[in-house]
Amino acid sequence: MLGDHTSYVTLDAPAVAGAPTTRSAHKRGLRTLVSLCAPVCLALVGGLLYVWLCLIPSRLADEARHSVADTSTDGLFVIAIGDWGGVPFYPYVTPAQLAVRDEMSKAASASSAPRKLVLALGDNFYQSGVLSDEDARFKSTFEEVYVNGHPELSAEGMWRVVAGNHDYMALRDVSAQIAYSNRSSTWRFPSEYYTFAEHIQGDGGAMLVAQFVMIDTVLLSVGHDGILNGEPARARSAAHWRWLSETLAASTADYLVVAGHYPVWSVCSHGPTRVLVERLRPLLLAHKASAYFFGHDHCAQALVEGGVHHHGVGGAHLLGYGTQSMGDVPHGSLAFHFGAAVWPANLFKGAFATASFGQSAMTVTHFDSDGRPLHSLRQPPRQ
């Protein structure tokens, strides 16, 4: 019994000849809806394609932007970027990546430091790394973005590189990126992990030393992140851990900087890396590391624990992660966080950091892709 609700019909009700059935009415309604929505959807897709294919490659040089404020006169100037590896399809870069590149260029040009470096901290080529040292992605995502026309970012030996998890995806190996060091005068990736020192001329002629310990956190995480497994990988991982412990213990540098891809602590989406909390964190604290630079989480952040400054610089090709892991870091350790953009807006917003090394302090400043300073931390030389 349906009462007065005449819009309902029973499944066995006989159809009246020439009268529209509910099913046919639904079909006509669906066709009408599609005909109305299709132009809107096509316009939206077309607009996104126009932005992606036209506006990105020809980004206007006279776009109003903020200038990077750092005009350091210290002896060593470093730019740190993580997760800068573009996209695996044309044009192989994002708008945020180009914006970050432009601000990196301004920062390098503004600094009068005699020595300048770029720390490239993994996920260098999305989505799965490169297949050989002749891979076209070296040109489309690195050379054409950071080298060609940008001498301030491409001095000999300027880029110091480590691998991220995406760099291992295709071959479970990063030997092609290491081999590219022989093809590029700018790219320096001598082995999976390595260390180097820079001498800093301080005031009054005093000479200070900044040591950089570049680590492969994927190799350190064998058996934990699902990328590298098996006995040979475990043996290589154990050797890396021994080398890292010995290298940090032996350091007498005034500034001791460790740099890798995975975070120890992070408030963003991926959060802390368990094996690094258990094994790297005690080494950083015991040997009084000045700072640990990392990527992986696509946000900008700084945390301080036990005198060690942790700087997250994983926003070099997009920002997108909020503070999902805030409850997983030591209470009171977060100094600042910047991120939480949503797609597609996050393709247009990025971040990076600079570090100026002088006699009195190492000063790290985080910037967004408009050149706005977000946060700054000073760290005195080790005692």
Predicted confidence pLDDT, tens digits, the chain (383 residues): 333 333 323 333 334 344 444 444 444 544 544 444 444 443 444 444 434 433 443 343 333 333 344 444 579 999 999 999 999 999 999 999 999 999 999 999 999 999 999 999 999 999 999 999 999 999 999 999 999 999 999 999 999 999 999 999 999 999 999 999 999 999 999 999 999 999 998 666 789 999 999 999 999 999 999 899 999 999 999 999 999 999 999 999 999 999 999 999 999 999 999 999 999 999 999 999 999 999 999 999 999 999 999 999 999 999 987 899 999 999 999 999 999 678 888 899 999 999 999 999 999 999 999 999 999 999 999 99
Question: Which helix (H) or strand (E) segment is 274 a member of?
Answer: helix 274-286
Listed residue (105, 107, 73, 101) closest to 85, CA to CA: 101
Q: Give me the pLDDT at residue 320, please.
A: 85
Q: Which amino acid is at 79?
A: I
Residue 264, CA distances (Å) to 283, 297, 312, 349 in order: 11, 11, 10, 24
Helix (H) or strand (E) holding 30: helix 22-50
250 CB burial (10 A radius; 0-12, 13-18, 19+): exposed
Length of the chain counted residue by residue: 383
Predicted pLDDT at 239: 99
Beta bridge partners of 301: 312, 337
Report CA 170 to chain centroid distance, whole Å. Answer: 19
The string over 129-141, giving b where at least 16 C-beta atoms fall within 10 Å of a residue's C-beta and e elsewhere, is bbeebebebbebb
Strands 159-162 and 351-357: what pairing? unpaired
Instruction: Quickly tell me which residue has 């020439």 as its tokens.
Output: 18
Residue 227 CA to its chain's centroid (Å): 19
As a whole number of angstroms, the distance between CA 191 and CA 184 comes to 15
Per the CB < 8 A criterion, the answer to whether 298 and 320 are in contact is: yes
Q: Give CA–CA dist 271/42, Å, rounded.
A: 38
d(CA 317, CA 2): 60
pLDDT on residue 119: 99
Where in the chain does DSSP place strands (E)? 76-81, 115-121, 159-162, 187-188, 194-201, 207-214, 255-259, 291-294, 300-305, 308-313, 334-338, 351-357, 362-368, 373-379
Rounded Cα–Cα distance for residues 144 and 126 (Å)? 16
pLDDT at position 31 is 53
Note the pTM of the prediction, 2 decimals: 0.83
Residue 354 dihedral angles phi and psi, to the nearest 5°: -120, 155
- Sequence-ordered list of residues with C-beta below 8 angstroms from that of 133, at least 6 positions apart, any chain: 176, 177, 179, 180, 182, 183
Angle at 94 between CA 92 and CA 100, to 5 degrees: 120
